[in-house]
Amino acid sequence: MNPSLQQQLETGVQHLRAGHFELARTLAETLKTQFPDNPEPYLFAADAARLQGDRGGAVAQFDDLPDHLRASAPLLLRKAQLQFSDSRRADAVATVRDIMPGIADDEAQLRAVARILTDCQLNEEAHSWLLGAHQRLPDSVPLLFDLALTEFHLNLAEDAEQHLATLLAREPYHPGALHLRSQLTTHSAESNHVAELRNCLRAGPDHPGLAAAVNYALARELEDLGQFDESFAALRAGAAAYRTTLQYDSAEELASHALVRDGFSAEDFAGLSPGCEDEAPIFIVGLPRTGTTLVERMLDSHSQVTSIGEFKDFPMMLSDEAGVVAPSMPGASSPEIFRAVNFKSLGRRYLAAARDLATDSPRFVDKLPYNFLYCGYILGALPQARILHLKRNPLDACYAIFKTLFFRAYNFSYDLEELADYIVSYHQHMTHWHEVLPGRIIDIEYEALVQDPESQARRILESCDLPWEEQVLDFHRRQAPSMTASAMQVRQPVHSDSVESWRRVGEGFKRVQEKFAAAGLI
């Protein structure tokens, strides 16, 4: 008796877990022949190729589907997801648009379409799609939340509030909705959810995700009310709850930073292979919550510049190129392998992917804060790129980061000691890049930017060889989406209210102060 498809797929999963990718891919080809009417072998074949690092091969699994599977929504949605992960955003969008008319009233499929559109920065289209999806499945809580989150990023706060109210009436302990609602406005003594949030903590399910979301929401509203000690206590509780959900090793993370610094000198930079000469990219780097979005919005207001958001492709492509050369360098260290990549190929691949979002704009902004880790590699691949580095008082930066629930990002930020250690390492990293790349990285001080935005904006444009345009100071009037935690703040004119904000927590930052003083940061 032949084993069933499910049994053979389980065998394939075991091959993947053991790292036997070729065995898994061979099995997938057999299963496609053995079960020609079933989409599962194609999905498994794509996953096997992807896990082996062959994203192009993963996409290719869907290029020659038999006729009866060519309209399969699950297969084509997976193809679009893989095209996106392979930096083929235009192809991903084309695939999704082809199948949108035939998507069934299926919650997972409806959400997947919206996710791809959002990831490709088609936020208005995603919003329209989600409104239609909500009408088709009005009882779907996940669709309601996706809709409200999209409205938050589009500055449709009133619409988001209404949809969150509907959602919470159905599911009063929804962590994401409780947290998002607190971000929509500034709260007052007459209008807040403090009592409701405290009741959630008392009566809600005992789950770290809920405890984290509710405490961060409570902290935000208490801060608005000027109750800073209680706000900080809620922050500590929320961060501690969220930290239990993470597998994060601070020592390992900081050791990886040190490995980069130790393996990339000025002489190493001079010895890199030639990069791709193109003046289009402007990188904004730094810690999160330090003004990176503010500068991005200013530049995006310029007639010659388009933002491509927090574009994650450069680190991924650098790793891909390292994977190409690694087999020919047995015994080499990671820095040696990364320095041996083909930087012209890396630069060209990056530019091709970025152009899917930047289209024909002369210049574009890549605002991925943690690209600070890769400054030397960025300038190796793209020698004409500009790198703008946002600096902020480390105590204010620490406080701003600590009071933000990022959800599946910045895992270093949920324990004050780990966060302080990361900030120290970040400063060491940027000091290193300034020594290796003198004059190539432009420091922008957050405090100077909010005190005198025009002079700093002029300096930013000059450093990017861009002519002065007055509208960069009116960035807050633009309706373009913002996909960061600063989505509401950047709708306001520049202000300095958050300068020295760390003092609100007083003794709560004593240990952080000691760490920063020992590192020479304060």
The span from the CA of 381 to the CA of 388, in Å, is 17
Task: List alpha helices for 154-227, DSSP H.
Answer: 157-170, 175-182, 194-203, 208-224
88 is in which domain, residue-wise?
A: 1-102
- The residue from 83, 102, 121 where one domain ends is 102
Give me the pLDDT at residue 1, please: 44
Structure tokens given for 283: 């990188």
Q: State the total domains in the chain.
A: 2
What is the per-residue pLDDT for 3?
81
Helix, strand or coil, per DSSP, at residue 172: coil
CATH value at residue 46? 1.25.40.10
Secondary structure (3-state) at 199: helix
| Predicted pLDDT at 480 | 59
Instruction: Look at residues 141, 162, 142 and name the one whose alpha carbon lies nearest to residue 152.
Output: 162
Q: Quote the strand ranges of 382-466, DSSP E.
A: 386-391, 441-445
Query: Tokens 């949108």 identify what position?
Result: 100
Check residue 24 and give its pLDDT.
Answer: 92
Give, for 384, the enclosing helix (H) or strand (E): none
What per-residue confidence (pLDDT) applies to 379?
A: 98
Query: What pLDDT is stored for residue 374 in this prediction?
Result: 97
**What six digits make up the tokens of 398?**
């620490």
**Would residue 202 count as lying in a domain?**
no
Determine the length of the chain. 522
The first and second tokens of residue 214, run together, are 């509710």
Asked if residue 47 lies in contact with residue 16, where contact means CB atoms within 8 angstroms, the answer is yes
Establish if 340 belongs to a structural domain: yes
Does 234 fall in a domain? no
Q: Which residue is listed with tokens 């920065």?
A: 121
Classify residue 188: in a domain, yes or no.
Answer: no
46-63: b (≥16 Cβ within 10 Å) or e: bbbbbebebbebbbebbe
Q: What's the CA gap between 272 and 12, in Å, rounded? A: 41
**Which structure tokens are listed for 128?**
């329209």
Q: Which residues does 94 contact at the CB level (< 8 Å), separation at least 6?
A: none
Which CA distances in Å does 472 have to 294, 314, 456, 467, 475?
Answer: 10, 27, 11, 11, 6
- Residue 175 within a domain: no
Query: pTM for the whole thing?
Result: 0.91
CATH number reported for the structural domain that contains residue 318 in this entry: 3.40.50.300
| C-alpha of 507 from chain center | 32
- Residue 477 is predicted with a pLDDT of 74
Q: Which residues pair with 282 in a beta bridge?
A: 365, 386
pLDDT of the residue at 489:
57
**What string of pLDDT tens digits covers the 522 residues of the chain?**
468 999 999 999 999 999 999 999 999 999 999 998 889 999 999 999 999 889 899 999 998 788 888 888 989 999 999 999 999 999 999 999 999 998 989 999 999 999 999 999 999 999 999 999 999 999 999 999 999 999 999 999 999 999 999 999 999 999 999 999 999 999 999 999 999 999 999 999 999 999 999 999 999 999 999 999 999 999 999 999 999 999 999 999 999 999 999 999 999 999 999 999 999 999 999 999 999 999 999 999 999 999 999 999 999 999 999 999 999 999 999 999 999 999 999 999 999 999 999 999 999 999 999 999 999 999 999 999 999 999 999 999 999 999 999 988 999 999 999 999 999 999 999 999 999 999 999 999 999 999 999 999 999 999 999 999 999 999 877 655 655 555 555 545 676 778 899 999 888 999 999 999 999 999
What CA–CA distance (Å, rounded) separates 268 from 335? 10
pLDDT, residue 503, reads 92
pLDDT value for 63:
86
Q: Which stretches within 52-140 are classed as H helix?
A: 55-60, 73-85, 89-99, 107-119, 123-136
Decide if 189 is inside a domain: no
Asked whether residue 227 is domain-assigned, the answer is no
pLDDT at 498: 82
Any domain includes 246: no
| Domain end (from 102, 132, 166) | 102
What does the block give as tokens for 6? 């499910």
What is the dihedral sign for C-alpha 429, 431, 437, 443?
Answer: positive
**Which residue type is seen at 425?**
S
Q: Which of 86, 102, 118 is the last residue of a domain?
A: 102
